[in-house]
Homo-oligomer: A and B are copies of this chain.
């Protein structure tokens, strides 16, 4: 099934079930008011939402409405935990190569992960507000999963069973703030403002054969101002799959239902597939030509992030948003 959250003036919006073709939706009235509410009681609510989804896809759901992604918030408009990995280690190696630094061997075995801000996510077609272009505004196209409750120290071979939903992310990044923050030693904070999510979150079964229980085997497509920017395969070169990332997050903590775990910027060793962030392209330009050529985003620039099945049908709907000046 596919789930979305419609704007209704509240902080958490209104949960709806969306048709497989993304054209119709129906409120989850009587099941759960919000997606977090559904996740809090997932064993009870998931079968009811699934039954409603089947009626909707059969054209038999009462109260069905047209689905407009402009009216969608992030599926979880706010969440209690957003932990973003950096699972495509070749991307990390490239970052370091561009600045002439070797990558420690343990980066291939021990995932990088940071705690992201989750109190006010950006809707899929809402503007990304930023006070200053000089911050170096970039996108990062990623895949993310949502978990149910995961006990502390859950092992990777048990973690996959806790994945209940999959979605796409634009992990907005302010590149020119990163060196200063990382130099202070406490990790990202101001450099990682609110992220955006796809219009719908889907259960893994909606991915069919493209879901192998651990990763999504489809290209993640990115456009910058209507020009294709990249379409790397999300299932290739993912050094740490989602069960590994979940187990990493849960090593010293219980994860509450509704925890979001991100893949980090999708990136392939095959550079002909393009990139999922401007920073990676700039690194490739630096390695090839001695200096970067592609600028970071300006106010008014747009980014579009989408994933289609092998037949070309959009799975999650598109993140499609504009950068605007705040204040």
Contact = CB atoms under 8 A, between A and B. Distances in A.
B119 A251 contact: no
A28 interface: no
A274 B225 CA distance: 58
A115 B115 contact: yes
A112 to B, nearest CB: 5
Contacts of A259: 119
Interface residues of A, number: 55
Interface stretch (A77-85, A196-204, A231-239, A283-291): A77-85
A256 B326 contact: no
A115 B112 contact: no
Is chain A's binding surface mostly helix, strand, loop or mixed?
Answer: loop
B152 A258 contact: no
Nearest to A86: B186
B193 A253 contact: yes
A189 to B, nearest CB: 5
A180 to B, nearest CB: 8
B189 A114 contact: yes
Contact of A186 (B79, B80, B187): B187
Contacts of A114: 115, 186-187, 189
Contacts of A79: 80
A152 B135 CA distance: 14
Given A80-B118, A119-B256, A190-B252, 14 more contacts: A78-B256, A81-B119, A104-B183, A104-B184, A112-B186, A113-B186, A114-B187, A115-B115, A115-B116, A117-B253, A119-B258, A120-B256, A131-B152, A187-B187
